Amino acid sequence: MYTIILGAPGAGKGTQADILSQEMNLPHIASGDLFRQALEARAEFGLPAKSYMDKGELVPDEITIKMILEKIDQSDCASGCLLDGFPRTLHQAEVLDQALEEQGKSIDKAIYIEVPSEELVKRLSGRRLCRTCQTPYHTINSPPKTPGRCDKCGGELYQRSDDRDETVKNRLNIFFAQTLLILDYYKKQGKLIKVNGNQGIQDVTREILSALKHQCQPEQSGEPLRFPSTGSGRAPVAEFTLSEAKALPQNDIRGEHRQNKW
Ligand code: AP5
Ligand code: MG
Ligand code: ZN
């Protein structure tokens, strides 16, 4: 079973994929974690990705796709995996479908964790990660038992350099422009499931598992898609409709030459 976890930066993709990976006994493949691990180990994909990640921009497709396809070709992913953070562009989604199809496989469901944008900013500013196993914590929402140390492995907790304010805004803008296209792609295939990510961590897990178990009715293609959902406050990021997102030039979506819209 190949399941995609979609969501904005800070939506809880990593948090949920970690839990689901144990519940469903599937490997958790996170493109961002793979880049950070590669950088730490000075391995192939780390250094080329660094400058893009530092600015909150997307790493070029040719690097990202190669890294992920190599990973899902490994034997532990032979019967499925949870993909977190990939695909992020329409091209990535299409190449992934092709690669799986060549092996007689396909994406089962794409789960979109929806969270209002003002909540995303709060989550990212309080996030801390384990340097060793990448488990995410939050200074207020899910603090570790011992301050500064991972509950699972005792590793040191640190703050990601791209969780700084300016980079966060850039990441959110790029996400909302790009992801509408991906949601539309999976919606047309009848594979998109939207869950409410603006509730407790366990409640989100429960909603995802229940949607997967009961083969919950996927989003219908007739409804208009609009991003981001903004809760009650003023949205801290630019809003896009699907046709606006489609009309954006690719380099704008990728974040290159982006004017600061804030
Ligand atoms: P990546 O690492 O994928 O970052 P992201 O998409 O920006 O997402 P995050 O990891 O920030 O958020 P998350 O949804 O995993 O949230 P988390 O569970 O940690 O990508 C980083 C960079 O790599 C990109 O900017 C790009 O440069 C590059 N990259 C990666 N993939 C790429 C691709 N496919 N193509 C091109 N470039 C790519 O939770 C956040 C916080 O909230 C935590 O503190 C957590 O404890 C807390 N929290 C979680 N759930 C809840 C809840 N329900 N209630 C309250 N708090 C919660
Ligand atoms: Mg993550
Ligand atoms: Zn750890």
**How far, in Å, from the CA of 156 to the mean position of ligand 3?**
7
**How far, in Å, from the CA of 212 to the mean position of ligand 3?**
28
Per residue in 133-147, pLDDT (tens digit) is 889 999 998 999 999
Q: What is the DSSP string of 12-25?
A: SHHHHHHHHHHHHT
**How far, in Å, from the CA of 104 to the mean position of ligand 1?**
30
Q: Is the CB–ligand 1 distance for residue 255 below 6 Å?
A: no
Any catalytic annotation for residue 160?
Answer: yes
Any catalytic annotation for residue 127?
Answer: yes
Per residue in 88-135, pLDDT (tens digit) is 999 999 999 999 999 999 999 999 999 998 899 999 999 999 998 889
Of the pLDDT bands very low, low, confident and very high (cuts 50, 70, 90), residue 230 is very low
Q: Please determine, for residue 164, whether its predicted confidence score (pLDDT) is greater than 90.
A: no
**Residue ranges near ligand 2 (ion) with Cβ within 5 Å:** 14
Any catalytic annotation for residue 36?
Answer: no
- Please answer whether residues 139 and 32 qualify as being in contact, where contact means their C-beta atoms are separated by less than 8 angstroms: no
* Four-residue CA torsion sign, 141, 142, 144, 149: negative
pLDDT score of 238: 54
Q: Please determine, for residue 206, whether its predicted confidence score (pLDDT) is greater than 80.
A: yes
Domains of the chain in start order, with CATH, are 2-118+171-253 (3.40.50.300)
Which of 71, 88, 187, 194 is catalytic? The answer is: 88
* pTM to 2 decimal places: 0.86
pLDDT score of 151: 97
pLDDT score of 246: 67
| Buried-exposed string 156-189: b where 16+ CB fall within 10 A, e elsewhere | ebeebebbeeebbbbbbbbbbbbbbbbbbbbbeb
Q: Is the CB–ligand 1 distance for residue 254 below 6 Å?
A: no
Per residue in 183-197, pLDDT (tens digit) is 999 999 999 999 999
Q: 227 versus 188: which is more confidently predicted?
A: 188
